[in-house]
């Protein structure tokens, strides 16, 4: 170990004795994948990576590190958008990977619960639920890598929040290794339990700053028996919202996802993504609506298709929907979803872009899109707004693409101004500067401004009460 990574030798020896060679990585090549996440916003250093093989091993490792005053950085799938799981540059922070705690301890289709360990990959959790005839509905781009512990620690959202809520809403109980190495077993699978403070909700969304989530009781749902996907060109942002309302009013439980895309973003998809066909090219605003139902279709009558067609017809008559395509097969539905899913990649290939993960009350989404697009255009003439995302829950990725011909680096140098410009509108609309990605390291300096006063004061008092040494994921969430 290099001299400039000061982990006390006795601690390292004790960790090695506790964890064995599979549980403690010190070889620089083994450390490498743990030093930065996939966005590579930050690159840190670590003396070693702890990979416990059991909760008891993790608890003992945490006790040892707490006694030595050594800070710990939890890592799940390492897919943070905000540097939430990257160690700092100081070289003292030990990375703790939960990857080996990846068992499904229990799955019960009658209770509709699954008890899963933190390192289980989200996709594997979805698959296990499906194998038991159920649905675990959390779904997001990184689901093949992100883990149960990670999505809970960040209260991940994704595409299905409009129907199933965020990760928080899908969790009934937790097991947590606390900063002093105590294990809290709160793995209750109860729908009602009013026995003191709801500690589980404190750890969900705390981004590992209060302890390590090691396992969770997750809620399952009946699986979909039919689904439909419609891809619609809409008149404007208001028409997109009106269309959402039409679906919700007709069958609130059927709307699994409702996604907005700008014409420019859809154009980037057609231009840059292989096989990127767009069924209704040339419009300024699009919506993808995904309907699903667990009701058995009675007598061959597909209820959702009738719903989809009826609502689209009404909305066309009202001038809200200009044109629409309906996925006629699983393959077609997947192809329509791909237009939405490839938005980040298409934007990347078009050039430099600045990402904003913001939310507003659902009713304010049209105003958010319009006003922040206009404000950014005043800031940098020629800038290309490519907003897309979860209109049904008010979370729009208000991204901005560089002007044609502008130098990418020069554009990115304006990132802060662009984000500020968007956030000014967000603030005015009663929104949030981080909807689903969290704070991590990227946005800690915004906490005082947005959540300052009584709120931040309370957070800091709670942090001090739960983690008095300040060893849990230091430098994240709180300024």
Residue 283 or 463 with smaller CB distance to a copy of itself? 463
Interface of this chain with a copy of itself, residues 348 to 387, rule: CB under 8 A: 359-363
By the rule CB under 8 A, 26 interacts with a copy of itself: no
By the rule CB under 8 A, 296 interacts with a copy of itself: yes
- Strands 395-401 and 221-222 turn out to be unpaired
DSSP letters along 270-311, please?
Answer: HHHSTT---SSTT-SEEEEEEEEE-SPPGGG--HHHHHHHHH
By the rule CB under 8 A, 155 interacts with a copy of itself: yes
C-alpha to C-alpha distances, 63 to 68, 187, 221, 294, 339, nearest whole angstrom: 9, 22, 38, 46, 48
By the rule CB under 8 A, 161 interacts with a copy of itself: yes
By the rule CB under 8 A, 168 interacts with a copy of itself: yes
Residue 119 or 389 with smaller CB distance to a copy of itself? 389
Binding track over 229-268 against a copy of itself, x by CB under 8 A:
------------x---x--xxxxxx---------------
Which among 225, 254, 222, 218 is positioned nearest to 132, based on CA atoms?
Answer: 222
Which among 78, 108, 92 is positioned nearest to 217, based on CA atoms?
Answer: 108
By the rule CB under 8 A, 184 interacts with a copy of itself: yes
Least distance CB 21 / a copy of itself (angstroms): 31
Interface of this chain with a copy of itself, residues 206 to 235, rule: CB under 8 A: 206, 210, 221-222
Interface of this chain with a copy of itself, residues 437 to 456, rule: CB under 8 A: 437-439, 443, 447, 450-451, 453-456
Interface of this chain with a copy of itself, residues 84 to 113, rule: CB under 8 A: 108, 110-113
By the rule CB under 8 A, 142 interacts with a copy of itself: no
Among 162, 257, 368, 398, binds a copy of itself (CB under 8 A): 162
Least distance CB 104 / a copy of itself (angstroms): 17
Strand-pair partners of 94: 72
Q: Tell me the chain's radius of gyration from C-alpha atoms.
A: 23
Interface of this chain with a copy of itself, residues 406 to 425, rule: CB under 8 A: none
How far apart CA 104 and CA 125 sit, in angstroms, is 8
Rounded to the nearest 10 degrees, the angle between the axes of helix 365-379 and helix 415-428 is 150
By the rule CB under 8 A, 436 interacts with a copy of itself: yes
By the rule CB under 8 A, 197 interacts with a copy of itself: yes
By the rule CB under 8 A, 330 interacts with a copy of itself: no
- Residue 70 contacts residue 11 (beta carbons within 8 Å): yes
H-type alpha helices, 342-400? 343-350, 365-379
- Residue 152 contacts residue 200 (beta carbons within 8 Å): no
How far apart CA 276 and CA 294 sit, in angstroms, is 31
Least distance CB 143 / a copy of itself (angstroms): 17
Stretch that binds a copy of itself, among 5-13, 60-68, 400-408, 457-465 (CB under 8 A): 457-465
Who's near 445: CB < 8 A, 6+ residues apart?
479
Which among 285, 268, 367, 288 is positioned nearest to 322, based on CA atoms?
Answer: 285
Who's near 348: CB < 8 A, 6+ residues apart?
none
Residue 11 or 146 with smaller CB distance to a copy of itself? 146
Residue 78 or 402 with smaller CB distance to a copy of itself? 78
By the rule CB under 8 A, 300 interacts with a copy of itself: no
By the rule CB under 8 A, 159 interacts with a copy of itself: no
**Size of residue set near a copy of itself by CB under 8 A:** 89
Interior angle at CA 440, CA 359 and CA 26, nearest 5: 150
Stretch that binds a copy of itself, among 3-11, 13-21, 175-183, 345-353 (CB under 8 A): 175-183
Stretch that binds a copy of itself, among 47-55, 89-97, 378-386, 459-467 (CB under 8 A): 459-467
Residue 203 or 337 with smaller CB distance to a copy of itself? 203
- Strands 94-97 and 72-75 turn out to be parallel
By the rule CB under 8 A, 15 interacts with a copy of itself: no
Least distance CB 92 / a copy of itself (angstroms): 25
Burial letters 354-384, b for 16+ CB under 10 A, else e: bbbbbbbebebbbbbbbbbbebbbeebeebb
Among 256, 285, 333, 390, binds a copy of itself (CB under 8 A): 390
């Amino acid at each position: 170990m290099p001299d400039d990574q000061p982990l006390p030798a006795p601690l390292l020896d004790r960790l090695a004795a506790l964890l064995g060679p599979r549980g403690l990585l010190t070889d620089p090549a083994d450390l490498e994948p743990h030093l930065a996440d996939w966005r590579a916003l930050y690159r840190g250093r670590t003396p070693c990576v702890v990979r416990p093989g059991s909760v008891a091993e993790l608890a003992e490792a945490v006790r040892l590190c707490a006694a030595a005053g050594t800070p710990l950085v939890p890592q799940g799938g390492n897919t943070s958008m905000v540097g939430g799981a990257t160690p700092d540059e100081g070289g003292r922070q030990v990375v703790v990977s939960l990857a080996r705690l990846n068992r499904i301890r229990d799955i019960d289709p009658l209770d509709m619960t699954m008890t899963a360990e933190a390192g289980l990959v989200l996709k594997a959790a979805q698959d296990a639920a499906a194998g038991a005839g159920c649905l675990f509905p959390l779904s997001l781009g990184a689901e093949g890598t992100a883990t149960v512990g990670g999505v809970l620690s960040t209260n991940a959202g994704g595409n299905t929040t409009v129907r199933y809520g965020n990760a928080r809403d899908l969790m009934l109980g937790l097991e947590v290794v606390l900063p002093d190495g105590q294990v809290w077993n709160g793995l209750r699978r109860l729908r009602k339990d009013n026995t003191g403070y709801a500690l589980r909700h404190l750890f969900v969304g705390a981004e590992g700053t209060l302890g390590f989530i090691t396992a969770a009781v997750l809620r399952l749902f009946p699986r979909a028996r039919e689904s439909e996907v419609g891809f619609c060109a809409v008149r404007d942002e208001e028409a997109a919202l009106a269309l959402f309302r039409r679906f919700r009013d007709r069958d609130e439980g059927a709307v699994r996802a409702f996604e907005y895309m700008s014409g420019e973003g859809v154009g980037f998809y057609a231009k840059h993504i292989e096989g990127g066909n767009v069924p209704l090219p040339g419009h300024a605003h699009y919506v993808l609506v995904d309907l699903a139902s667990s009701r058995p279709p009675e007598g061959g009558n597909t209820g959702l298709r009738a719903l989809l067609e009826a609502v689209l017809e009404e909305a066309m008559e009202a001038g809200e929907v200009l044109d629409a395509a309906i996925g006629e097969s699983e393959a077609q539905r997947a192809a329509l979803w791909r237009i939405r899913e490839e938005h980040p990649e298409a934007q990347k290939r078009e050039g430099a872009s600045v990402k904003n993960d913001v939310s507003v009350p659902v009713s304010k989404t049209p105003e958010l899109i319009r006003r922040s697009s206009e404000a950014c255009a005043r800031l940098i003439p020629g800038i290309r707004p490519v907003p897309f995302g979860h209109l049904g829950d008010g979370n729009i990725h208000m991204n901005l693409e560089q002007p044609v011909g502008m130098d990418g680096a020069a554009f990115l140098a304006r990132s802060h101004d662009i984000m500020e410009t968007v956030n000014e509108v967000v603030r005015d609309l009663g929104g949030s500067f981080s909807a689903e990605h969290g704070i991590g390291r990227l946005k800690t300096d915004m906490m005082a401004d947005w959540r300052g006063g009584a709120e931040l004061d309370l957070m800091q008092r709670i942090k001090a009460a739960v983690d008095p040494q300040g060893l849990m994921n230091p430098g994240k969430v709180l300024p």
